[in-house]
Amino acid sequence: MSIISSYVGRAYKGFRGEVLVLPSRTLVLLFCLTLFLLPLVMDHPYYLRILIMASIFAIFAASWDLLSGFTGQISFGHALFFGVAAYTSALLNLNVSLPPWLTIPLGALAAVVAGLVVGVPCLRLRGTYLALATLAFPLILTGVVFVIPDITGGELGVSGLDRLSDSRVNEYYIAVTVMVVLGFVMWKITDSKTGIIFHAIREDEVAARASGINTTRYKLLAFCLSGLFAGIAGGLYVHFMRIAGPSTLELMLSFQVIIWAIFGGIATIYGPIAGAFILVLLMEFLTVAPEIRMLLFAIMVMLVLLFMPEGLTTWVRDKIEKVCPRCKLRNIATRKSCRVCGADLD
């Protein structure tokens, strides 16, 4: 019993020191708890469907942030990874009768291969040229989809896929759990040594290479990791919607993920997740005014980008926290001295 209490005490101490010490992390914890407890008070299938879609798109948005926000490899064709995994999962489920818990990981692996296919020829490109090059790949794959309709279903796509679960509540918990776990994994990657190298490549790739960093390997790693997480989102999407079609590769989806990420705050992981949830829910709410729906949506996004150029979550974080000038760690805004080094914060 004493051993168990020792482990519990150590875990609580680490939890308090890592999560409860900062308001932004506490808000993330409350957000996750709210998502898990929500079906206990609201289990209407329509509302759960919206939240499931928001969770899937949140994974997708965070995967874009991992590649473009942290590494600076701007992708205008991120729907490629989503679509590759979607079609792979769908075809394996329909033609080989594999269950979703197998087709989704296999679809994600196919998206990793797609990350290599995109990453290798784009290694020497930067900025606008890289963005335009990535834009071409989903267009090429869309053309392939239309050329072989006997396999891909052409414009109609393929339908009749197995559901994630027989219960909408279970589907909700699957989507939310995967979103929370993958969001945490992506955040830990960016908070590790690998994340620091991604930052260095984004800020000055020449300086990073001069420091002995193999930037080619790490850029390929970023493409593959981003493809992996986007692929999981694509696999979840097709098994929830039970159809895979050209819409999973369309340019609008690639642009939407950029809007979600920038709206929430890039280079944060939790920013794009928050952006996806807010904007997906907003679009559903604005169905009450379908004539001006897109106009109101655009005004909302423009106002946030105008007054919060670094994103909504970054703006909120800067209001409730401040950075220590000596050790660069974040502290609650009401503190007078740094929680680690004791430097004056005023």
First-to-last CA distance in the chain?
46
Q: Is 82 exposed, middle or buried (0-12, 13-18, 19+ CB in 10 A)?
A: buried
Q: How confident is the model over 45-65, as pLDDT tens digits? A: 999 999 999 999 999 999 999
**Number of separate domains in the chain:** 1
Question: Hey, what are 41's tokens?
Answer: 């008070």
**Which parts of 17-161 are beta strand (E)?**
158-159
Strand partners, 323: 330
* 57 occurs within a structural domain: yes
* pLDDT tier at 298, thresholds 50, 70, 90: confident
**Cβ neighbours of residue 278 under 8 Å, at least 6 residues apart?**
263, 264, 312
* 13 occurs within a structural domain: no
* 269 occurs within a structural domain: yes
Q: What distance in Å separates the CA atoms of residue 290 and residue 137, rounded to the nearest whole number?
A: 33
Report if pTM > 0.75.
yes
- The predicted structure's pLDDT at residue 198: 95
Q: What distance in Å separates the CA atoms of residue 175 and residue 164, rounded to the nearest whole number?
A: 9
* 311 occurs within a structural domain: no
**Cβ neighbours of residue 114 under 8 Å, at least 6 residues apart?**
80, 81, 84, 137, 227, 231
* pLDDT tier at 43, thresholds 50, 70, 90: confident
Number of CB atoms found within 10 A of residue 285's CB: 13
* 18 occurs within a structural domain: no
> Domain containing 240: what range?
40-277
* 11 occurs within a structural domain: no
Q: How confident is the model over 109-129, as pLDDT tens digits? A: 999 999 998 888 887 888 888
Inter-residue contact 179 to 56 (CB < 8 Å): yes
Mean of the per-residue pLDDT values of the chain: 91
